[in-house]
């Protein structure tokens, strides 16, 4: 439709038809909580089919199970046995790191993988305990209960914290609140995981130097003070043994990285270290010369622990806080790892379903003497490289751990703690991703600041402080994006009808008498005041430039609102103020391409009537054409109140 008000042919920006409030609310809620439309598959299906689809949704094993083949079984058995060889020594090591009985590491590698195999949507994730979660649990629960003075209560609190972690994870998935985890940005996770890995490595100095007394604090200053104030108690036997095994583990990792087909070398190295270390201690009686060993591990499967959960004050508060924090970290790591390997194999995993799976396995785990589990990167990488085809590799791993619990636990009696420390150190060094930090520095300095702040917070403060710093800085950045959106001056690319940012395209030409601005974000109460000041400053700067150069005076201010997806009442008030100020200066405000939500609200606020529909255009090219037409054929600076005949020439 031609714009007859100005006499310049253009397309009119449409005002969308009004929508009922409940319909708009329903659409907004759907886009917020169901962006993947999980209920689509249930539409137009009979009740029996819906039941089957519902079972497959919550238990994916019913989906891939009927299609399982012997070829898949062969691959999954190889992968499952391979990750079991890594899971057994790692499980024992991480349980010790969490100040928990070593047998809990094996318990936690038996029941949770079975639950995940039924409910998880990732084919590659290998479930088990993680060092960061173990450290967090030891640190946070240790402030309330001393694990040496009251080991039974500490153990029960660990089960309770695991229960609340699982409850929180499952709730996020059921209520479709997974986007909360997204507030932990990639930069924050890199810094936090690197800091936690550094702290974990420092904690292993106790076993490597053979110290009996050590600080319970996790910061680098406390740890180094504890190490160097006890130099007279260092055990050279333990130190030499630790350094040799760390070197052995790092060499095997190096060869596995250089040759992908040798992945099994690195995967088998921890179990090999345990066997060699145990044989060395057994034949040399090194436990009598300062080399500490695990001691007796009782045989048998997981005992029931549901009655051990602590729901009384003041311990319950500590358990809830520990569960929430460890649950978030476990979710962030598990989902990130699952998505990474899914991307390699070109399939999709549902984040909310993963949360339900993690939550369920931790809730059931807390009832069966397990503590916090998720999908660690090292174990999942081994599973992926071993050629797993489905989540059945977790079942094979669980069976291998079950056999170990039933028959092989006495063999770990002579396993030296320094070997477990070496396994932890070698695994944690891979989490200190300095290459990712350098990459962040090159791409985005603010992301690097988030990363290094999280790292320093963990290393020099505590794991909780580092996590809080990471989240606060990430949220602050989001708020800065919202509160301080970018605005640009646009110019015309020569020999085209395209208008782009003059800073990005220095060859873009300013249009005489017209200032073209682009707003690059929705307009809300948080940024309305800033945008008002910034737009007026753009106008002042343009007028100053015109005075300095003696060019044609400014007549029109065009605001490209293509990127303004929404606007609230404060934003509309800001536009009304801008229009009044521009009117007083004898200028004309022109809008370009407001979105449907923006047009709807501007119409309801009667701002369109105030500015005049003739001053709203679909494209910047049309707006500039109309303004130039008016400049050359009419007296500029007319308003909606001018006589009708003024524009119909």
The residues pairing with 558 across neighbouring beta strands, listed in sequence order, are: 516, 590
Q: Looking at 7-11, 250-254, 505-509, 595-599, which range is the least confident one?
A: 7-11
Percentages (nearest 5) of helix, strand, coil residues in the chain = 65, 5, 30
CA nearest 334: which of 347, 321, 351?
351
SS3 488: strand
- Residue 478 buriedness (CB in 10 A; 0-12 / 13-18 / 19+): exposed
pLDDT in tens, 271-308: 888 889 889 888 888 777 767 888 888 888 999 999 99
pLDDT in tens, 150-205: 999 999 999 999 999 999 999 988 888 766 666 667 788 888 878 888 888 888 88
User: Burial code of 277-290, b = ≥16 C-beta within 10 A, e = fewer?
Assistant: bbebbeeeebeeeb
Q: What is the pTM of this model?
A: 0.76
Q: Which architecture characterizes domain 485-631 according to CATH?
A: 2-Layer Sandwich (3.30)
Q: What is the DSSP letter of 646?
A: G
Q: Residues of CATH 3.30.750.24 domain(s) within the chain?
A: 485-631
**For the chain, percent of residues with pLDDT exceeding 90:** 33
Handedness of CA 382, 386, 391, 397 (dihedral sign): negative
Residue located via tokens 């301080």: 484
CA nearest 160: which of 463, 372, 467, 464?
372
Residue pair 341/125 in contact (Cβ under 8 Å)? The answer is: yes
H helix or E strand, kind and range, residue 200: helix 186-203
Contact residues for 377 (Cβ-Cβ < 8 A; gap 6+):
333, 337, 430, 431
Residue 365 has pLDDT above 80, yes or no: yes
- Residue 327 buriedness (CB in 10 A; 0-12 / 13-18 / 19+): buried
Q: What is the DSSP letter of 304?
A: P
The residues pairing with 487 across neighbouring beta strands, listed in sequence order, are: 519
CA nearest 260: which of 366, 393, 385?
385
Query: Which structure tokens are listed for 627?
Result: 């303004």
CA nearest 358: which of 514, 553, 125?
125
Tell me the mean pLDDT in the region 68-79: 89
pLDDT in tens, 382-419: 888 778 889 999 999 999 999 999 998 888 888 888 88
């Amino acid at each position: 439709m031609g714009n007859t008000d100005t006499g310049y042919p253009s397309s009119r920006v449409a005002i969308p038809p009004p929508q009922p409030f409940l319909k708009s609310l329903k659409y907004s809620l759907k886009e917020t909580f169901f962006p993947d439309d999980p209920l689509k598959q249930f539409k137009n299906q009979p009740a029996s089919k819906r039941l089957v689809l519902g079972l497959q949704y919550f238990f994916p094993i019913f989906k891939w199970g009927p299609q399982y083949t012997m070829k898949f079984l062969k691959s999954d058995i190889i992968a499952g046995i391979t990750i079991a060889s890594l899971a057994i020594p790692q499980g024992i090591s991480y349980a010790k790191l969490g100040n928990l009985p070593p047998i809990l590491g094996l318990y936690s590698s038996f029941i949770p993988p079975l639950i995940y195999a039924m409910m998880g949507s990732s084919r590659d994730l290998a479930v088990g305990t993680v060092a960061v979660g173990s450290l967090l649990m030891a640190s946070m629960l240790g402030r309330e209960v001393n694990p040496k003075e009251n080991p039974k209560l500490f153990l029960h609190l660990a089960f309770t914290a695991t229960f609340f972690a699982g409850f929180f994870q499952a709730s996020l998935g059921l209520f479709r609140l997974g986007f909360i985890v997204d507030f932990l940005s990639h930069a924050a996770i890199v810094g936090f995981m690197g800091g936690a890995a550094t702290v974990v490595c420092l904690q292993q100095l106790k076993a490597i130097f053979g110290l009996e007394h050590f600080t319970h604090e996790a910061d680098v200053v406390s740890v180094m003070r504890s190490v160097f104030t006890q130099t007279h108690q260092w055990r050279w036997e333990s130190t030499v043994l630790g350094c040799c095994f760390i070197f052995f583990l790092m060499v095997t990792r190096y060869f596995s990285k250089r040759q992908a087909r040798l992945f099994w070398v690195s995967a088998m190295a921890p179990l090999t270290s345990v066997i060699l270390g145990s044989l060395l201690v057994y034949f040399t009686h090194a436990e009598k010369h300062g080399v500490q060993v695990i001691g007796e591990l009782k045989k048998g499967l997981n005992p029931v622990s549901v009655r051990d959960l602590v729901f009384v004050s003041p311990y319950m508060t500590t358990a809830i806080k520990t569960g929430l924090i460890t649950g978030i970290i476990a979710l962030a790591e598990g989902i990130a790892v699952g998505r990474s390997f899914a991307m390699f194999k070109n399939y999709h995993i549902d984040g909310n379903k993963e949360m339900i799976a993690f939550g369920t396995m931790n809730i059931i785990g807390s009832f069966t003497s397990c503590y916090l589990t998720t999908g660690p990167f090292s174990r999942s990488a081994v599973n992926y490289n071993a050629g797993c085809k489905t989540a059945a590799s977790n079942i094979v791993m669980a069976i291998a751990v079950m056999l170990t619990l039933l028959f092989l636990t006495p063999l770990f009696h002579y396993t030296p703690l320094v070997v477990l420390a070496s396994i932890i150190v070698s695994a944690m060094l891979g989490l200190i991703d300095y290459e990712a930090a350098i990459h962040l520095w090159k791409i985005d300095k603010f992301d690097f600041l988030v990363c290094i702040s999280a790292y320093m917070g963990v290393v020099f403060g505590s794991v909780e402080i580092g996590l809080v710093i990471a989240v606060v800085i990430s949220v602050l950045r989001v708020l800065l994006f919202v509160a301080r959106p970018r605005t640009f001056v646009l110019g015309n690319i020569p020999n085209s009808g395209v208008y782009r940012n003059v800073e990005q395209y220095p060859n873009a030409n300013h249009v005489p008498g017209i200032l073209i601005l682009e707003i690059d974000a929705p307009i809300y109460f948080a940024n309305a005041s800033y945008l008002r000041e910034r737009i007026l400053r753009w106008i002042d700067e343009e007028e100053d430039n015109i005075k300095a150069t003696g060019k044609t005076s400014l007549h029109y201010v065009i605001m490209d609102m293509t990127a303004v997806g929404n606007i609230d009442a404060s934003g509309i008030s800001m536009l009304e103020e801008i229009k009044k100020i521009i009117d007083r200066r004898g200028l004309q405000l022109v809008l370009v391409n407001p979105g449907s939500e923006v047009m709807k609200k501007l119409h309801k606020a009667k701002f369109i009537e105030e500015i005049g529909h003739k001053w709203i255009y679909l494209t910047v090219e049309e707006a500039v054409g109309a303004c130039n037409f008016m400049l050359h054929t009419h007296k500029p600076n007319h308003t909606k109140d001018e006589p009708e005949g003024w524009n119909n020439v």
